[in-house]
Amino acid sequence: MKRRNILKLGSGVVITLPSCSGGQKTEKAVGRKLESNPAPAVIGKTGANTQYRQPAYVNRGLRNPTMNLPSEFGGATVTHSRGLSGQPHVAMTFDDGPHPQNTPRLLDILRARNIKATFYVIGQNVDRHPGIVRRIVAEGHEIGNHTYTHRKLTALGNSEVEREMMKTEEAIIRAAGVKPRTMRPPYGALLQQQRRMIFSSFSYPTIMWSVDPNDWRRPGPSVVASRILSGAHNGAIILAHDLHSPTVDAMPRTFDGLLSRGYQFITVSQLLAQKSQQA
């Protein structure tokens, strides 16, 4: 389903963005290039009538190192779209879950590679699938606030925005006993005034992204993987959606490709903690 987003800039200019994820441009890779001669691919299936190209290195047993990094962050920065560029760290983020089939399958893929990700969950889905949220937390992943109903926040008043944030926070606490520490607005649409208000009321910085494969358009698993691999850079915050089965199909190739290039996966809070330490 085609979705369009509207962002209002401080100058009053309104930009229409053709993306569920907010339409941000994918950042160019910093200091890293996609391999010119990638490993030969083999054809595999993930379900009925769904084919994707899975590279040979998927089954090499690549694993992310255990990253015992601090996750406490502070500072007055209201919006973040990337981490520091000095280390080969990336934060993999997944929006719109939990999904009853896709999210558990994704968690299996992550666990096999010792990768910790950040999940920006919708409160309604948390209430529908609290057991999946408990598993996300139990396996060391981070939970972020993605509103309760996935409404476009730029169309809401402050009290409605606060209600969306609070209902989701309460749902996450009920399900898993943890409080989210960051938020991501649906469609990437949030006015600067709203970002400041949320930061003041909930201490949530707004988390955007620097790599967007536009997976919500369902271009196919191989395209999603290729876009992430070509766009990756040190400190990247990578956007994806576990709502979509083809996105989960793309993750083995994506994760193994990034690991083979020397990238290490950490959570969004760990990225922000590095920025706080530098500051």
| Cα–Cα distance measured from residue 94 to residue 121, given in angstroms and rounded to the nearest whole number | 8
96 is catalytic: no
Token duo for residue 6? 């509207």
> Which residue has tokens 């994760």?
255
54 SS3 class: strand
Active site residue 242: no
H-type helices in the chain, by residue range?
Answer: 102-112, 123-128, 130-138, 158-176, 192-202, 221-231, 245-260, 268-278
Enter the tokens of residue 97.
């879950």
Give DSSP secondary structure letters for 118-151: EEEE-HHHHHH-HHHHHHHHHTT-EEEE--SS--
Catalytic residue among 215, 241, 242, 256: 241
The answer to whether residues 247 and 214 touch, using CB atoms and an 8 Å cutoff, is no
Is the omega angle on the peptide bond into residue 18 within 30 degrees of 0, that is, cis?
no
- Helices and strands in the chain, H and E counts: 8, 11
Given 89, 95, 141, 249, which residue is catalytic? 95
CA distance 250 to 260: 16
- Provide the annotated active-site residues: 95, 241
